């Protein structure tokens, strides 16, 4: 069955998140240090790697928890401080070439949808990315009431687009949040290796995507191949 509908995560494929992650690298260790806990660069790097390897649902909470050595109160205070600081960092960077690819895909007849864990400010982020108006379904988890990896988020977006899972190809950067639930529903999948989760490895062959890409050109080629 040919693919008619393309679904995209935001962080990774669309938004490089490079500026966002630089802010994380500065503010997260700072929030932990303000709890009186010493954090070295090696400690932070190890905590990030462990969070990715363990498929932590919330990577940043897992990093804080490890750096706080199981101190619940310190971890909670650090998370609250970090979250407040990050909320003031309204950062978004469009992946070079992605706007042009999305426009071309839309012009060629594909329906485009967002399947992403994103706050109510997603519309403003898409505007800053230069991608407003490119998606037929552009609401995130906060609007739709489900969060990945819950398959109901994928199914809700499918229903909005008049599609069934077999019509869809999902593009995301995480094995656990994007590839696994999409495969479970019978979608084809493309993993966009980007950011911290580029090192995330499938736990078995059942979690392998149909394609692994690292550039917009590779993504375009994968869509051409898989959409037939």
**Could you tell me the CATH number of the domain that includes residue 12?**
3.40.50.1000
Quote the pLDDT of residue 12.
Answer: 96
Same domain, 170 and 78: no
Same domain, 71 and 173: no
Residue 29 · residue 136 · CB < 8 Å? no
Same domain, 108 and 183: yes
Same domain, 31 and 143: no
Same domain, 125 and 221: yes
- Into how many domains does the chain fold? 2
Same domain, 67 and 145: no
**pLDDT over threshold 90, residue 101:** yes
Q: Residue 131 contacts by C-beta under 8 Å, 6 or more apart in sequence?
A: 14, 94, 98, 99, 102
Same domain, 67 and 144: no
pTM: 0.94
Same domain, 62 and 166: no
Quote the pLDDT of residue 48.
Answer: 97
Q: How many residues does the chain have?
A: 228
Q: Which residues of 103-121 are buried (b: 16+ CB within 10 A; e: fewer)?
A: eebbeeebbbbbbbbbeee
Same domain, 134 and 37: no
Same domain, 65 and 167: no
Taking only the tens place, the pLDDT of each residue in 132-173 is 999 999 999 999 999 999 999 999 999 999 999 999 999 999
């Amino acid at each position: 069955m040919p693919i008619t509908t393309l679904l995209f995560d935001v962080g990774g494929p669309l938004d490089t998140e490079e500026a966002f992650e630089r802010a994380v690298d500065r503010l997260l260790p700072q929030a932990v240090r303000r709890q009186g806990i010493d954090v070295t660069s090696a400690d932070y790097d190890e905590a990030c790697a462990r969070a990715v390897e363990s498929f932590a649902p919330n990577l940043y909470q897992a990093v804080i928890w490890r750096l706080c050595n199981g101190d619940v109160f310190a971890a909670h205070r650090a998370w609250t401080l970090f979250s407040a600081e990050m909320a003031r960092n309204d950062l978004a960077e469009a992946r070079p070439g992605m706007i042009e690819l999305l426009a071309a895909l839309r012009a060629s007849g594909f329906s485009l949808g967002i399947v992403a864990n994103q706050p109510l400010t997603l519309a403003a982020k898409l505007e800053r990315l230069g991608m407003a108006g490119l998606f037929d379904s552009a609401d995130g988890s906060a609007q739709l009431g489900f969060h990945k990896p819950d398959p109901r988020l994928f199914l809700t977006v499918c229903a909005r687009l008049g599609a069934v899972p077999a019509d869809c190809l999902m593009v995301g950067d995480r094995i656990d949040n994007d590839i696994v639930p999409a495969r479970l529903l019978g979608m084809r999948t493309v993993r966009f290796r980007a950011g911290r989760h580029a090192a995330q490895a499938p736990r078995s062959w059942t979690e392998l995507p149909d394609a692994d890409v690292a550039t917009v050109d590779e993504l375009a080629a994968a869509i051409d191949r898989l959409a037939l």
